[in-house]
Structure 1
Amino acid sequence: MEPIRLAILGATGMAGRDALRHQQWLSEKERQYAEITYVTAGPTSVGRPLRARYEEREAALAKAYPDIWEAQSFPSSLDHLTIQEMDPDQIAMHADYAISALDSEVARTIEPELARRGVHVFSNSSAYRWDPQVPLLVPEVNYNHLPLVKKQETSGKRICNPNCTTAGFIPIVWAFRQVGCTIASINLTTFQSLSGKGDAIADPEYVARASSPVWVDWKPRDDRPGMNEEEWKSSYEPQKILGRIGTMEELDAGIRAQELGQSSSLLPISSRTHRIRQSYGHLERVDIQFKSATFVDEAIRVLRECKIPEEVAFLPTTPTWLFYVTKGKPSYEKNLLAGGGMSITVGDIQQVGEHTLRMWSLSHNLRRGATWAGRQGLELFLSQHVDDWNEFFHRLRQNR
């Protein structure tokens, strides 16, 4: 089969560069199905070789954080690419699919324009996560939300993946739900790596701030006292993913009901977020209160025996195992790249009450939490909309 034509939007940013590395990873694993035909970056980069801008960004980070940062190599198979303008007509002329690693303000303008021109967009941006016609997708958890795209009037379809912290714990919630465990509430505490903030971390003022082991890195929301933007996302994006609500209006109603002590459609999730001096990977402490007694041995069994749905398991980016379970707290050195960076490692599971378990999860924020997840969503879309690709992906899986 001819490979699909794929654009990477925001290709020189932190998540965009990892999208380029993912392209190489798929080729090395002999699972490739796409050709990158168009890449964009900021206006000052237009016309420059992609390699040059990529390597400048990586070198700047290695210089700013010599003790923790190793510059990642540029995929040599992409040496021919030059950075192009963010022109929807040009993008649509050269690509049929796009992975978007754009800032939200840019994404808000360009992504609908691409969809109107027939380009299918798989976005890491938060701009359209709450559009009721746009699936907010974690394929293993809610692959059945993909048909929402049929409500979109454009010939090109738009799909979003959630924020990186949500991606690291919501599959755990799903796994317990699959075996009939009812969750009463979740307390989430995150310790998020520097790469989650993007290349702004190379700024000298930020480098000085990042000399601390732990700090808070987000501004408070005006509409939610005591909650910052990241905490808002990780408390409420899971509600749409789990199918509890589908619109911002339903979310607002659920929040009001909680505040009044009334019955609410929302799963109570309390989130506290922190930044840490680590290059990649988000470590999260997840306290889950169940409605009935649940014990450590049962939790270990549920996670170890968890099966990825067959609708998703055969996709090229899907890992063999969704979870790896460790006795102690997950290790960056040993566990960050489990499943190619698409598996979640869960460890140090403790009983902290008859109905409450505490566990730690480690996930790769740029892979499970960003553009690799977007590419997995693209694969799901292809498998459900093009019979030939469905068959091709199944053959790839058989050869692994």
Structure 2
Amino acid sequence: MGYRVVIAGATGNVGREMLNILAERHFPVDEIAVLASRKSLGTDVSFGEKTLKTKDLDTFDFTGWDIALFAVGSEATKKYAPKAAKSGCVVIDNSSLYRYDPDVPLIVPEVNPEAVHGYAKKNIIANPNCSTAQMVVALKPLHDRATIKRVVVSTYQSVSGAGKEGADELWDQTKSIYNPTDDKPPRKFTKQIAFNVIPHIDVFLDSGETKEEWKMVAETKKIVDPKIKVTATCVRVPVFVGHSEAINIEFEDPLDEDEAREILREAPGIMVIDKREDGGYVTPVECVGDFATFISRIRQDSTIDNGLNLWCVSDNLRKGAALNAVQIAELLGNRVLKKG
């Protein structure tokens, strides 16, 4: 016996990836409904070997459905997620709307699976920000061993994190540079993204940090440990898929790079590729389509006591969004609903 599953936002990048991952991981689905806004109504999407037509999110009745994976943005989530939850369908939401709600668990299954039982307060579970998700997978096993005091992270985030419009803008601008008569000014981003980097993701806050940077701080504290100090600089780079992070970690207790490497090799969801030679590390191009969070460049930071540096790469459409949501659904099924 399997589950009746809904994908809200099935025509977007993340929604399509959710469908792919559900099929790849053989999630026990008895019935699936794919929903979209009215402008995308009737669009075909793939689920394994099946082709499905999208239905209208606005009129859909969630009664009798078990799990709904939402990938529709905060505004639509605010309207439709409570409706689904009230009908008895557990919502796993990819937007930022519920991440900081104390009554909604924010989950990365490799890190805080026990939090899944908190879903019952609102019948909603939040998926973290893409850049946070991959980082905390790396931090948690190290924190368990040596207790993290402080994290300094710089991100190199792909344009797909800004949706299809972001990817289209990079593609169009790259072509236009070789054709000066076809100028493509910035629309999705604040400055040219082709052959450039932009130290600005989401809106600026009064503190001077961007909301993306604030999210990494707040979410790491909620998922891993509220005592950890985090400071982030988030940068958009001209890469289509795959977020990268340079992470500096300060620990309470001594932890040498060799032990850290072995801890990470044994940790769930992590693949360590760390050779001190040309090409002995992972780049975004190589992580696309993979489930793992890749860790490279593990080394001591000699400027502080008990410090380490590492390089972290992951497919942001997978671990940063769709994969994590499906893993939450698996966790919910295994620990709570227990149908599959």
The alpha-carbon deviation at position 360 of structure 1 amounts to: 0.2
Structure 1: 5+ residue runs without aligned partners?
Answer: 52-73, 245-265, 309-320, 390-400
Which residue in the other structure is 1:170 paired with? 136
1:49 equivalenced with 2:19 (yes/no): no
Shift of the 36–126 alpha-carbon distance from structure 1 to 2, 3 Å rule, reads farther
Q: What fraction of aligned residue pairs are identical, expressed as a percent?
A: 29
Looking at structure 2, the residues matched to 270 and 217 of structure 1 have their Cα atoms a distance apart, in angstroms, of 15
Distance in 1 of aligned mates of 2:32 and 2:71 = 16
Structure 1 counterpart of 2:8, one-letter code: L
In structure 2, how many angstroms separate the alpha carbons of the residues matched to 1:333 and 1:44? Answer: 33
Distance 1:37 1:298, change over 3 A: closer
Q: Where in structure 2 are there 5+ consecutive unaligned residues?
A: 170-183
Q: Which amino acid aligns with 1:342?
A: F
Count of residue pairs the alignment pairs up? 316
**Matched position secondary structure for 2:62:** helix
Q: Give, in whole Å, the separation in 1 of the partners of 2:35 and 2:339.
A: 29
Cα distance in structure 2, aligned partners of 1:386 and 1:230: 33
The aligned residue for residue 78 of structure 1 is: 50
TM-score by length of 1: 0.74
Partner of 2:172: none
Distance 1:115 1:347, change over 3 A: same
The correspondence of residues 142-221 of structure 1 with structure 2, limited to 5 A, is: 142-152=112-122, 157-179=123-145, 181-201=146-166, 202-203=168-169, 205-206=185-186, 209-221=192-204
> Equivalent residue for 2:326?
375
CA distance in 1, matches of 2:44, 2:5: 15
Shift of 1:388: 4.5
Distance 1:85 1:388 in 2: 27
TM-score scaled by structure 2? 0.86
State whether residues 136 and 161 of structure 1, in contact with CA within 8 Å, keep that contact through their aligned partners in structure 2: yes
Q: For 1:2-81, what aligned pairs fall within 5 Å after superposition?
A: 3-26=2-25, 31-35=26-30, 37-46=32-41, 48-51=42-45, 74-75=46-47, 77-79=49-51, 81=52
The one-letter code matched in structure 1 to 2:271 is F
- CA change 1:150–1:24 in 2 (3 A) is closer
* Runs of at least 4 residues off by over 6 Å: none
**2 CA distance for matches of 1:387 and 1:82?**
29
Tell me the secondary structure at the aligned position of residue 368 of structure 1: helix
Cα distance in 1, alignment partners of residues 115 and 225 from structure 2? 9
2:88 to 118, 123, 127: 118
Q: Which has the higher helix share?
A: 1
Query: Is contact 1:107–1:127 with CA below 8 Å preserved after alignment?
Result: yes
Q: Considering fraction of residues, name the structure with more strand.
A: 2
- 2:262 maps to which of 301, 305, 309: 301
Q: Give the corresponding residue for 1:290.
A: 251
The alignment's C-alpha RMSD in Å is 2.1
Mapped partners of 2:137, 2:50: distance in 1: 33
SS at match of 1:347: strand
* 2:231 partner SS: strand
